[in-house]
Chain A
Amino acid sequence: MKFSYNWICELVEGVQVSPKELGHLITMKTAECEAVEPFGEHLAKVCAARVVEAEPIPGTRNKKVLVNTGRYGLKTVVCGAPNCRPGMTSAYVPAGVALPGGEIRCLEISGVVSDGMLASGAELGVNRDAEGILELLAEPGEPIPGCRPDWVLEIDNKSITHRPDLWGHLGLAREVAAILRLPLRDPVRLDWLPEAAADLEIEILNDELCPRYSALTFEMVSVQSSPLWLAYRLETIGLNPINNIVDVTNYIMAELAQPMHAFDRDTLRGNTIFVRTAAPGEFLVALNGETYKLDPATVVIADARGPVAIGGVIGGLDTGIVAGTRRIVLESANFHASSIRKTSGRLKLRTDASMRFEKGQDPANTVRGLARAIELFQEISPGIRLSGGLADAKRELPPPPRIALELDWMERKLGREVAREQVVEILRALAFGVEEESPRRLLVSVPSWRATRDVSIKDDLVEEVGRMVGYDSITPQAPLIPSAPPPANELRTFHHAVREMLAAQGFTEVYNYSFVSEETARRFGFDPAEHVAVLNPIASDQGLLRKSLVPGIWKNLLDNSRHFDSFRLFEIGYEIHKRPGELPDEIDHLAAAVYEREGDGRPGLFELKRLAECLMPGCEVRPASARPFEHPARSWELRWRECALGRLFELHPTLAAGRAAVLDVDLRKMRELGPPPKRYQPLRRFPSSAFDLSVVAGLRDLAGDIEKRLVELAGENLESIRFLRQYSGPPLPEGKQSLTWRLSVFAADHTLTAEEVGAIRARLIDGLRAAGYDLRL
């Protein structure tokens, strides 16, 4: 939202601060001022000039013109404007001045050196008229009337969404007046409103959606260009001047935050304006040329025949102001904020009007806008006159309840003291009514333009006082609170510990999106229907929520394999699983991967197995049937403490060139199982004895199974067991391997004799043979 510094200065008496300083003060006390930029700087050098002579240059449409510029003396310029003639007064731009379209230089045109130029309104950026040079009522050398250099203060729209009043200059001016402790000048004089009976009926059929609709009828209207001051002001704040009638409505909107709309009275059927919701099948061709289908949630302004405007959003084309318009109905209404917000969202049409109404405008403001319009029309449409009085339909709204403000409570909230007199002064400057009920308690009434949704409770008043005394006046202070350790967050501690371990072992942490595309889900053999679907994705890769971390890791593997031959990475993230009727189940998982472009892939899998053992001491892997994205012969289930916790596998070779080992663990289960209980075992007191055993087994017999069997057989005599080597080849038969372990056995109460050791060994051998294994002795 753009604000004119000059305009604010007209509304606040005696502003002495510079535009930049004002921008800063507004930022600190009201709303964020994002930029303060000069506007129309060149107008300081442009002046009125009288055409003394204008002689056509043969063979061209240009004239060689001698002008009296007053300030700069007599100048010769070349001018091609059709309206250029001796005796007229226009605008002279000296050479060296930068206009919005570029810098003006001394140029030879049609054989004549033009020392500066005579300019049109469009060239000066004061209106959109490019037909001819400006025609002014001014003496040579004087500034262009109504077009002083200005500054634009740009206020961040997001910082005023809660302040309907700040969508007009008067609202911001009130803030400035309060900040600078200067008087505010209200431009509205309600005594302009006519006393006569209205010659237009208004019927509001839904006063929830339209609490108030006020209108005036004017006749003897002459539609023409706006005067320079008006067009220039609209240009300054980024609005497009159109014609005097429309410009006045826009001007009042920018001044009072009250959107208005003018209908051509002679195109309206009947004598009644209806405010109602649209009937099924109704549509409107709007001023922007678009046709809008209306639905029953949309508020329309209708005449006897049908909709003529979408209430609070846009007017209709058929009833708009045109050059020949003689009579107008000027609408100044109030609409329900969220209804406008929804309508404008539904129609994908945000207008200056809808933007204001959706903030919750003040119903009291409708007639203020009309009063202001009467005054302005007198000036910009000479001869205009009112036809009848004010038509004003409204729902009576009770005044907002007064707010009790305990000053002690307010000071506790702010963390500083504020003198009662200062509180009262601040609130009154912001137009709050203040009654001092007791020395430390005020009764505050809220001005109508702040009461729509912005201010309703005492906390809101804390803000009013706080921002005006200045938050920088509050000294930071540590609270006095009991000291106690905060409740632990085991999830967080656990995740951080896992992360630390992974990073220490050479893995780099990645973050992947929570989204997965349908295509990727399919590629991994997941059913898209089992995912939580996003209803309004922007891109196709956001269609589903991931229920596995592996597709993300897969993408990381592909991307990084373009830059590295070997790498390790991991992610801790949430699998999102659908649960009908409640929020999805979010399960924290760890996915880690080792990539090697070369090699047989075993080291990566073993590395991840070791990693799993660091996280889950004593965990084991069991063969598993491969999922579609897993190497069919290298897919293992990870088990710990009798529970399946995840997978350890090589990515299917069709998914990645090279070898990618992946570990995927359910951290929630791991956390729930917790670390195994620890119990001290007394240290061995008698020496142990060691011997080796070589077991002959089938090539796909699992070493883990044999080792488990050995441990069982050795029972309480086992001190330790260590795998030594695996061998296949002669003299072993084809299809056989030999696996060798070193076992160390002991007894708790004596040194084992050679016979006892032999007996244990024999027990192991017999047991293995019974299980179908052979031994190499």
Chain B
Amino acid sequence: MPTDGSNESGAVRWPRADNTRVPYHIFDDGEVHAREQARVFQGPCWQFVCLAQEVAGPGEWKNTFVGETPVVVVRDETGGLNAFENRCVHKGALVCLADRGRAEHFTCVYHNWTYDLAGRLKSVAFRRGVKGIGGMEDSFRLEDHRLRPLRVRELCGLVFATFDDDAGELEDYIGPEITARLRRVLNRPTRILGYHSQYLANNWKLYIENVKDTYHAGLLHLFFATFKLNRLASEGGVVVSECGGNHASYSRRRTIHADAEYDSSTLRAARDDYALADPRLLDSVDEFGDGINVQILTIFPNFVLQQVENSIAVRQVLPKGTEETELLWTVLGYEDDDEDMTEMRLRQANLIGPAGYVSLEDGAVGGFVQRGVKGAGDAASVIEMGGAGDASQESRVTEASVRGFWRAWRRMMGD
């Protein structure tokens, strides 16, 4: 199957020049999927692969994916970060089999071909044969072979990698407004509180649409409304990067902070109205000092940074075939958290993740679309909330960032 997009195979039938109509076959067409692996995931975009602290010491490595391609990230002897395809150059077997480890070199179990921490081939078992018989021809040179490398950059403790030199520099790729909002949250050393893995019965782009779509939050997630916790109905907006593909949406707590009349006893009295039997769930502090209590940030194609009150997490969205997706959450605190702060973050972790009060619906809704669009032919979704463009807006009742995603995706796919 051609994957270079050079002919019609895998071409998307866009009904309009703008991004207000997205054809449904984009979510279940295997040829689109194959072309997307080549053009987007192996194309000029930076993809989150791990946290720097997960590969902190020399030789520490982590197994991950870029698109569907298995990739290993490793810290070398000099403290630099390397990444390469987890695929032996000999027969294509996985070289690293565990999730994580520490190594001085990597050896493929199949035929003992061995690589250094940069992925360069260092030895081939029985290269000279046995007693001078067999083995490789003299023309075989180790230095002609290496595990296929990716370019690696680190920002705010996050590690990103790309297969394509055309991705440019990471901060330029993210853009200044989104970089500033990334730095806002990842402003000091983090501590990993744990991981979630969630498997979704939908194409990865449906999850990304869901994350970028701020319009659905108060409609699908009824937890806050049911418990009369009107926290999300406050001011906010959506910032979209120039390229369209990166975004940050935010909302601000209602202006009850810092006013002298709202001392802590008044706030506690107000809690009698909560229907929550244990309102400690929503204990929170304005730790960034700007009153923004929710910020969701994405970097094209598949990275999410979440701040929901004091619950901080990064999410890596991994395609698993055309109609399945793995969502990997790494939930964070900070190194300077005391015990009470860690407890607060763990209580708030009930809001997010596969069982999260305000996120569990997102695990299912992509599957509702995936099943809904079977047999849809050339039908397309209608994405007109907030107009047809993708400029930043001072409202969250908009689908601007969704249209921005499709603009970036179309450009990378050459559509």
Are the chains A and B members of one assembly? no
Chain B residues near A (Cβ < 8 Å): none
Chain A residues near B (Cβ < 8 Å): none
